Structure 1
Amino acid sequence: MKPTFIILSFFFFGMVLHLHAQSKVDSLTYYYGVVNQPKSNIQLAKAYNFFTKQKEQSIKRKDIEKAVFHLRLLASIEKKMGLLSDSEISSVEALRLLDGMTNPEMIKENRIGIYNHLGIVYRSLDNFSKALEFYSKSLELVEDEASKATLLNNIGNLYLDKNEYSRALVYFEEAYEKSPRLDLKMKARVLDNLGLAQAKLTLPGALSNLLEALSLRKTIDYIPGVITSYGHLSDYYLDKGDRETAQDYAQKALEQAKQLNNPQYLESTLATLVLLNGTPEVVQYKKLRDSLEKASVRAKDNFEYYRYQFSEQQRLFEESEFKRQKLFLTLILVILVFVAIYVVGRVKHNKEKLLKVYETETRISKKVHDEVANDMYQIMAKLQANNETEEVLDHLEAVYRKTRDISKEHSEIDVEGNFSETLMELLKGFNNDEVRVIVQSISKVDWRHFSNLQKTTIYRVLQELMVNMRKHSRASYVVLKFEQKGKSMAIQYTDNGVGTAIYKKGGLQNTENRMKSIKGSITFESNNDAGFKASIRI
């Protein structure tokens, strides 16, 4: 019993799925027929709701092909209901979705149809140039004769609207040449338009073509076409001065419009009767009202396609701009890399050069100390032992001190230990009975923030300033003030010596070169009899 129940359950479940799928297919077929040949506005409204849901579901499933199909049907319904701006929006949305399709043939087929529909919409909006643009775009893409005939017929209608009957006739004749390959509906449409253009130009065969088109439309029971034929026949007889026959055909058109129950056809046929039966004032009022309505429609048109075109141009521009910026940034990056390599290399070279200078100075100092100073000391010792004159001894002692000072000036610097003490030892060495050296805030400096090269440079620069002071300034006091902010430091040097005009040569030039080598700076300020100042920044 249990297996039988399971089998029956699957059977009934399968039947439900099949019926649901069948119902969906039947609904699609039914509403598709409604769009092509609506019987009433209620039917169109139901079809609109159905295809709106279908479109939303297709977009959720990312089924672009079906979404485009549903949007085109929605655009067609909106056009039939007089919602021109909405129809334009749906068409443009379908155009956007085409960018996500991969099948070239499907893209082309849909683009032809959408361009043609936009041409119809813009014709209804009385925008001749845009309508002609889209009809022409579509005509460039089509290959089959039936589609070419449709587009030629549509372009002919544009020229009919502008009362350019001779130009319209050229397009209708070219379209009619393809009539053997057209279905009856399309053949009747081309024949009817051809007869109308001929009638406006008072050419023979106009009436027979109009009547033949009406007969074909009745044969296939195409009510909208029958209404159009009655309207054109009414125009034909009105132009001939036969108002009675014109009114008769206009009345027949109204009866068919009532049967179709379409507001657009009802309004159009009633307007024709009003013009035929009304006074000149009524006719003038009707024309004025139509003109104002067209102007209002054009004013309300949201120009969705123009926005689409702009967005496409913007997208292409942004892509081009992105590529240009990418190339530009790549070029900048390459330049920066080369500059960085050059700068790093230059800095490295300068550092190596400076280190070599310090190494040379240290080597000279050692050589002076080991060889010259020691030799001088030995000479002095021998002279003392031989009781030579004090004058010679004093002179030799002075030479010894000079060599010792040279050795000290260029000796190796201890930058690994307590650098504040190393500096203080240097500066105190210049403190004597004649000059008082005052050092402020040096103990507050955290030398861990500075490299060995920077410390060595500071030592040599301060040494150069102090030697310069001892040789030239005749100062009685010197003040050095240290001030640190993070990894930056300022040292202010001031003395009360005789001062001098600033000439950057010799020792001063050396200090400036040394500071530049570590990306620091030194500036000088001095006048005769006004002391000397130096500002060091690193």
Structure 2
Amino acid sequence: MKRQRLQFYLYIAVALIIIIFSCQKKNNDTIKAQSTKEKVEKLIVIADRFYDNKKIDSAFYYYNEATFICSPVNDAENYISTLNRMAIIQQSHGDYSGSEATIKKALPYAKYVKNQLHIWNLYVTLSVNYLDTYDYKNAILYNEKALHLETKSWKKLAAKNNIGVALIQEKKYTEALHIFLPLETKNDIIKDNDVYASLLDNIGFCYFKVDASEKGLNYMNRALEIRQKEKSAFGLGKSYMHLAEFYQKRDFSLSKKYILLSYKEYSKINYIDGRLSALKIIINNSSNKELKDYSNIYIALSDSIDEVRQKAKNQFAKIKYDSKHEKEENLKLKAYKAENELNLERQKNRNIVSYIIIVLSLCLILILYYYLTSKANREKIEAAYNSETRISKKLHDELANDIYHTMAFAENRNLSLLENKEQLLNNLDTIYSRTRDIARENCTINTDENYALSIREMISGFNTPNINLLINGLDTISWHEIDKTKKTALYRAIQELLVNMKKHSEASLVAIIFKETNKDILINYSDNGKGIDVSKMVLKNGLHNIENRILAIKGKINIESDLGKGFKVFIKFPL
């Protein structure tokens, strides 16, 4: 009873220490997340102020700074909404490819957002990009996604309207009418004159295109009346353009009058795309000097907008690059400052660990001194010690040096260079693989009815893009008739074969064949690796362990190999 009580107290002490450290870590993480969120929100406020004052380049800069320090998982709403604002700025300046690249950074983190409005804005911004770049299928796709979100009714109506606009661009006028006509009676649409006039104009244009001219003209004139009252230059430009197209084959002079009015309205607000569209129609309906004059205007306007958009695109790209470069420089400076703080923290942690080790050591000494006297317990302790020593040796021999060299590489190389970054990733992948191998070697083995599945999963775990593993006959073995000790030994033997293969053989193909006879289990292992000289082979480490395991279950093992001719192992043990 005393022994059990002491053990119980020991477990409680260890648990308390773990809980304290976990709580400290969680508190630190929480404080860090809150601190980052506050900085992000301050940067967003500054960026919003610049945006409202039409200082777009400064707004873009501060939005970009906010995304650099924002946590896309813990603060997904700020991250997504900020990227959306940046994408809208790029979109408004004609940088559609840049806008799409910016907004797509937000897509993987939409699942962390609770407020569906941010996702709706994300989808609609993407759809506008696709609409402006003539990718109408994707424009419709993302409006349909926006339509299925849990948002206010007017947002659903807006998404439906956007789908109709995309269908018009695809010249699917009948399908567009099916979208637009049910919206005509919606209160949210009717009470907004700009939206209602746009809807009526689109309906009229669709009717005109499906040869319902009288209906089409009626709707377009109703839209024009509303827009004339509202004095909306953009809306009037659209209405006059549709009417010009309507009268193009009916009344040439009236058509020309409307297209000139459209050009005039678009010029008031300097809407370049609208002016260019109007000029195309004017040019098609002009001749002689008038044709030359309008053609020159079109060329000059087209060249100027291309130049402006390219400058804006370069400007936004430069802001992103400069911010990234500045961040890297700041990190280097902070690294020097943090080094001293890190050393102090390490010393503090060493002291804490020392106290913990002393307390635990005293507890263990008391338990061992009073109660661990039986032979069985001594063997358990010795086995645990041997296991820990083996793991420690593996950690020291296989991982410590690699980690040290990787740290030195990261500190002394410029990681912004692609080759250095790839080398660092390769080093980390090697460390990860070795850690996983050690974990596999010391995991509990399932020897019940799921043994075949367990061994298959273990073997499949060594499958990589560069290594193909073939397993044959595994399910034909009567595993339930085999002793657990033999199954454990076989599992470990195959595991160590695969570990050796991965470390040394450079194989790209491995085959493991299982076969059962009346009295024995046969396993054939082969790979196409670089092989070894069997005459000079010295069994040690993994191969020595494999041989000992098979001999311990009264089995036989035979190794065949030669340099450049792969590696083969034949294992046989009785049922």
Please give the range of the TM-score, normalised by the shorter of the 2 chains: 0.3 to 0.5
TM-score, length-scaled by structure 1: 0.44
- Which has the higher Rg, Structure 1 or Structure 2? 1
TM-score, length-scaled by structure 2: 0.42
